[in-house]
Amino acid sequence: MLQYIGHERRGELERFVTQKLLGVVKSVARQELDNPTWMRKVARLSKKSYPQMRVTVLEFLDTTIFDLSNENCIAFLNPLLESWDIDLATFCIEIVLNRRVAPGHHKTFEFMERGPDKTSGEEPGLKDFLQDPLLSGDVSEEELLFLRTLTFENKRPTPLYYYRELQSLRDPLHFQPPTKKVPA
């Protein structure tokens, strides 16, 4: 599936897709690196021993798109990637990871058109919210990522809006607990 990626000459689109695939799989590998159960599952899928897989993962984490080899693809990418697809009309990339070894098994990367008023990339109200330590002093990276995804066509939210959105996000009444995974 991914063997064409290892070639020296790549186009920009192939490089971009490869970089996204590599980034998603590396993220899972970093998250699970110290988990022996996960490492054994991946080793079994790759037909390697636990020590061999540990070395493979550590080497893989140092890999860039420019030195990605067929061996990396066979040993590590293939077992973790179930499928991927790109819509060339929208450049939307959908990546489905093997649910037996990858938490959050579906990732989507999309491009979106922005109007001329969005060139700064961040809402003025969000900037003001972030500059006020009384409102945003304890905002986590995950919460900040969420707040940055909020977009508005015809409205300009105030810093107070972002504070209330943050409180709503933190309210346990608004979310159900995650379902427990059944061991494979």
pTM greater than 0.75: no
pLDDT of res. 20: 84
Q: Could you identify the residue written with the tokens 């899928």?
A: 45
Provide the residue-wise pLDDT of the chain in tens; the chain has 184 residues: 444 444 444 577 788 888 888 888 888 888 888 889 888 888 888 888 889 888 888 888 888 878 877 877 777 778 888 888 888 877 888 888 888 888 767 788 877 665 554 445 678 899 999 998 888 888 888 888 888 888 887 888 999 999 999 999 888 887 777 776 666 5
48 close to 56: Cβ distance less than 8 angstroms: yes
- In this structure, are residues 30 and 41 in contact, taking their beta carbons and an 8 Å threshold? no
pLDDT for res 119: 43
Strand partners, 83: 96
Q: Phi/psi at 105 (nearest 5 deg)?
A: -70, -5
Rounded alpha-carbon distances, angstroms, from residue 75 to 37, 44, 100, 164, 168: 17, 11, 16, 46, 43
* CA dist., res. 13 & res. 128, Å (int): 36
Q: Please state, as a whole number, how many other Cβ atoms lie within 10 Å of the Cβ of residue 5.
A: 20
